[in-house]
Structure 1
Amino acid sequence: MNSPVTQLRHLDGVRILDLFAGPGGLDVAAHFLGFKSIGIEWDRNACETRYAAGLPTIHADVSVMRTSRFDEIPKSVDVLAGGPPCQSFSVAGKGKGRRALNEVKEFIHRLVDGDDEARIDEDLRALDDSRTALVLEPLRWLLKAIETDGRDPYKVIVLEQVPAALPLWEVYAKLLRGGEGRLNGVKYEAECWQLKTEQFGIPQTRTRAVLVARRPGHGAIEPLETTHLPFDLHRGKRNTSQPDLFSADSDTSGSKQRWLSMADALDAASKLKGSPLDPSRLRRGGKMKFFVVSNYGSGGDPKNRGRRLSSEPAFTVTGKISRNRVYTSTEDYEAARSDRFTIPESGVLQTFPHNFPWSGSDQAQQVGNAVPPRLGMHVLSRALRGNAPSDDELAASVTWPHVPPTTTAELRVIGCGDQGQCPPDSHKVTRSHRKSAP
């Protein structure tokens, strides 16, 4: 096992606990803001990416950590963050969670009111989709901290989910402001919003429901300031055979920048020192020009696949991004040879550093599961510092620092135990937690 000195070196000063941490979207954001974090992640492949990136990790089920291994969380942690898996709430899924919203709201109230947790767990198992219950985990972790001797309530809470979960965050916020029941008088300033990623310089359209809660004494939580213009999702349909296929909206009115396009993001990343990106196949006449056909249908028609130009933001990056078809030919769309985004390219569209060390299997799934780090920087900076990330911090976030193999090996031991073996029963809860999270 790692020596106590080695563990202390990696975990000393950790402030942020990232539940359902995935490959590290929020942890990457925390790093560039100067905060140390530790993540809990069930998926072994995502853990391998995290170890390779030098991100402290516990390879375990979030529920198991809360019930039987809570004392392993460093006491320096004062920020609770996370994005519970969102399949059942997502418009891309079957929507069982959306239909169960009222039931989940009731469970939230039952937890705070002090209803018997064994009975709550039994009722949760009766839900159509057991993963829906995972949205309750952050509240259960907060209650655990409040009720555990020697632990202080978290000072800050940051949660994100798909837009359909916003009503749940609103219930969270109301209860956190009240501090009643099992909250034992612990109150928070709490706000929640829907955020569009392209308005924060992320080259994709993606909407997230975000909750930020903070213990009183630091003033009201101000809304995040967007930096870029919104992208018009309802723009007119284009004929891909017309000459203006690769035209771009040049509206830069006001003080905000235009949204960032796929071409701009990939081109800039490919020019960085040591970049693994080689998008020459996407260039025509020396310029990056292509269009993407979505893997998803729209308007209820699975054959009606949307298209995005290289001069526009990407579709929402999901675990199916490797199935999106990329074309550079405009002459004969049906006959044209399609390509796919590489994993580093997909990561850049999520605003991961160009050289982020994606590892393990199911890497497209890992990319799609993640919180876009640039959005995470804006949210965490507002929650922890009350302001936006600096231009220098954002500029630095395009490149990930080199991580020695010795660090990766040490973190693997901390996360999984000797020779990659995890403690017994660490993964005994539902095995399908980490499938696609749009």
Structure 2
Amino acid sequence: MIPPLHFVDLFAGPGGLDLGARNAGVPSVGIEKDPNAVATRLAAGLPTVHGDVRDFGPADFPETNALAGGPPCQTFSGAGLGAGRAQLDRIVAAVKQAGADGHVTAPAGADERTALVLEPLRWTLAAATASRPYEVVVLEQVPAVLPIWAAYTAVLEGIGYSARCGILTTEEYGLPQTRRRAVLVARLHGPVALPAPTHRPFRRGVPRCDGNQALKPWVSMADALPGRGPFTAISNYGTGGDPKARGRRDCDEPAFTVTGKISRLRLVDPDGRELPRLTHSEAGVLQGFPANWPWAGLDIPQQIGNACPRPLAHALVEAALGH
């Protein structure tokens, strides 16, 4: 039986995972380095430590017994230059070595941001060494990080956890957006499984009423933004590597993956006329935040794009609880 949980959220951002945990009835405290995301968190009343996760450890948060984190994804993302992807095998080897000797050491020459993906493992092993192991661990990142999460899974199982990792698609958990994430859930006492989908997958041209009738239909942009009239969204990035090949989604479909460039997403009416672009509130809604989330600080589109989607966070926390 898991005791009442209290998360420490590494790389906490503007509060997506905290909000998902809160929806599951679990309190959290977040560590965040970016002053803009910290401004949003404080405006939202989220317990926050403004600092670098590398400067802290489990002993600094004795009230917590659960760990969550979404390390920075820029070096692993397909939209970036690929420094993390180039180091993938060496990071996986570092995880395996940590499992063998208990010490987390970044590969020599690894990009500083890339090495941050090892921080949740450092925290988890440190807590176990201090005989205060975390009851659950919840992690999420871009799909390219799945091999690292798979290596984490083996290490966690080696110290007594039940752990699972995989790729989840966010519209299958009620987010009005198609977004793929590599996730990991681990539980110290009792078996764990990845969360089962609650909504049908989006397939272009397939009516949302089709498919598994035990699941809810996917959520469209029109569902999430009822104040908007009919529109078509024109992607803020290219498809197939061609920046001139801009994808299109009608408002009765889920949004494209929300990135830090969400403010560049063009909206046009049925006659092709330009419409006002998404407000910060609307962009946040597409990432699962309430419409009244008090965005603050600078670079709000980047805050939104970097955030863990709230419905996915909720599903992961519930899975970690064994619900």
TM-score, normalising length from structure 1? Answer: 0.70
Task: Report the Cα offset of residue 115 of structure 1.
Answer: 7.8
Task: Report the Cα offset of residue 157 of structure 1.
Answer: 0.6
Any conservation in 2 of the 1:14–1:38 contact (CA below 8 Å)? no
User: Residue deviations 1:42-78, cap 9 Å, x none?
Assistant: 0011111111111100000011123xxx5431x2211
User: Residue deviations 1:323-364, cap 9 Å, x none?
Assistant: 11111142xx4xx32431001101111111121111111111
Change (3 A) 1:202 1:115: closer
Distance 2:249 2:154 in 1: 39
Aligned to 1:242: none
**Does 2:48 match 1:61?**
no
Distance 2:278 2:154 in 1: 42
Any conservation in 1 of the 2:194–2:316 contact (CA below 8 Å)? no
Distance 1:249 1:166 in 2: 29
Distance 1:106 1:380 in 2: 28
Of 90, 113, 122, the residue aligned with 1:140 is 122
Number of equivalent positions = 320
**Does 2:74 match 1:87?**
yes
Of 281, 295, 298, the residue aligned with 1:361 is 298
Distance 1:138 1:52 in 2: 26
Q: Secondary structure at the match of 2:225?
A: helix
Aligned to 1:256: 215
Any conservation in 1 of the 2:220–2:251 contact (CA below 8 Å)? yes
Change (3 A) 1:43 1:14: farther
| Runs of 4+ off more than 4 Å | none
Distance 1:253 1:157 in 2: 30
User: Residue deviations 1:72-103, cap 9 Å, x none?
Assistant: 31x22110101111111112222222222111
Change (3 A) 1:108 1:290: same
* Residue type at the aligned position of 2:124: L
* Residue type at the aligned position of 2:121: L
Q: Secondary structure at the match of 1:154?
A: coil
Any conservation in 1 of the 2:17–2:310 contact (CA below 8 Å)? yes
**Does 2:200 match 1:229?**
yes
Of 316, 334, 339, the residue aligned with 2:257 is 316
Aligned to 2:8: 17
Aligned to 2:93: 106
Task: Report the Cα offset of residue 193 of structure 1.
Answer: 1.8
Distance 2:48 2:208 in 1: 42
Any conservation in 2 of the 1:198–1:260 contact (CA below 8 Å)? yes
User: Residue deviations 1:225-277, cap 9 Å, x none?
Assistant: 211111125x59xxxxxxxxxxx65436522122110001111xxxxxxxxxx
Task: Report the Cα offset of residue 14 of structure 1.
Answer: 7.2
**Does 2:315 match 1:383?**
no
Structure with greater helix percent: 1
**Does 2:235 match 1:294?**
yes
* Residue type at the aligned position of 1:326: L
Task: Report the Cα offset of residue 26 of structure 1.
Answer: 0.8
* Residue type at the aligned position of 2:269: T
Distance 1:55 1:253 in 2: 38
* Residue type at the aligned position of 1:145: A
- Structure index of larger Rg: 1
Q: Secondary structure at the match of 2:166?
A: strand
Distance 2:52 2:179 in 1: 27
Distance 2:59 2:137 in 1: 19
* Percent of pairs with identical residues: 49
- RMSD across aligned positions (CA): 1.9
Of 41, 48, 55, the residue aligned with 2:39 is 48
Aligned to 2:165: 192
User: Residue deviations 1:185-225, cap 9 Å, x none?
Assistant: xx111111211100111100001111011113x2x213322
TM-score, normalising length from structure 2? Answer: 0.93
* Residue type at the aligned position of 2:254: P
Structure with greater strand percent: 2
Distance 1:116 1:199 in 2: 37
